[in-house]
Structure 1
Amino acid sequence: MRHVDLDDQEGYLGFQIAPMLDVMFVLMLFFMVMAGSVKIERELNTKLPGNAPTSESVDFPDEQIVSISANGDVLLNEEPIETAASNKSLPQLSAAMQRLKQNADAARTELLVTLVSEGDTPYSRAIQVLDALALCEVKGVTFSTTDDSVSQ
């Protein structure tokens, strides 16, 4: 009888590429089938946010801060909007408050305005700001002062 000497390398057939190709074809087939079921973005019916009225009221109010400096400058949310030399009717403030009021009405929220004035602010300037708010039909107005003597 003849004796066969088996080498350790005889059982190793090398890198088999056929099973790997089978797996790759199955994956490619899966992704091709799934790509057909994905909707294209332009086909989706979406509406971007805007001034469309909402069906329910939102819980958080829209609060704006109007500040009046001692020299008569008017600031809306810390941004200068009217100078002391501007028209007494405050057209820029009125226009900005009208836009904010329309946005609050569309969102069914209340527009709240906090009027902050320094202790040396002329009363006439505060009345002019109140008149501008009244023209825009802003009803939620609160007053505050930055005078240090009041807080002591």
Structure 2
Amino acid sequence: MSSSHGRRRIESEAVGTGFQIAPMIDVVFVIMLFFMVMANSVKVEHELKTVLPGPPSGMVVDTSEELRIEIADDGAVLMNDEEYDSASDTTLPALTASLIRLKKDADFRNERVVVTLQTEEQARYERIIQVMNALAAAKIAFVTFTIGSEGF
């Protein structure tokens, strides 16, 4: 009796060792059903309407009217390498008139005037203020400053 009992155990193990395809087909169908249902809920990305910081869309910014005003140690004032007024003239009438004309011309073209004020290290502060007064008379607001003898 003991020998037949051992034989049945071997036969039962041999039956369960085969590859079962039916559960695999069930799993594949469930996965396929999941993806078919989820395919309808996928949202298509659209282009985002973003506004970047910068000048208003109606204003055209062109820095082609970039001026360089140099102030030398002796008080000489040069705009784009051309000397204006004498070193002793405190009101700078030629420089002021030229700046006003350039500003009006740039306003007519809807551009802005950008000025770089370059001074020598030993230039007098009084002369720098006189040039800044000429810029203020021309209503030029975009001014940057550099110190040194890069352009001389």
- Give the alignment's TM-score, normalised by structure 1: 0.57
Question: Paired residue for 2:135?
Answer: 133
SS in 1 for 2:110: coil
SS in 2 for 1:121: coil
- Equivalent residues of 2:66, 2:113 under 8 A apart: yes
Q: In 1, distance between residues paired with 2:135 and 2:77?
A: 13
In the TM superposition, 1:2-151 aligns within 5 A as: 57-61=59-63, 62-86=65-89, 88-146=90-148
Paired residues in the alignment total: 92
Unaligned runs of 5+ in 1: 1-55
Q: In 1, distance between residues paired with 2:70 and 2:107?
A: 23
1:58 Cα deviation (Å)? 3.9
Q: In 1, distance between residues paired with 2:129 and 2:61?
A: 31
CA RMSD of aligned residues (A): 1.5
- Equivalent residues of 1:112, 1:141 under 8 A apart: yes
Q: In 2, distance between residues paired with 1:82 and 1:119?
A: 21
Unaligned runs of 5+ in 2: 1-57
Residues 66-123 of structure 1: CA deviation (Å, up to 9, x unaligned) = 100000000010111122122x111000000001001110111111111000000000
Query: How much identity, in percent, do the aligned residues show?
Result: 36
Question: Which protein has the larger Cα radius of gyration, Structure 1 or Structure 2?
Answer: 2
- Give the alignment's TM-score, normalised by structure 2: 0.57
Residues 1:147 and 1:79: Cα distance change in structure 2 (over 3 Å) = closer
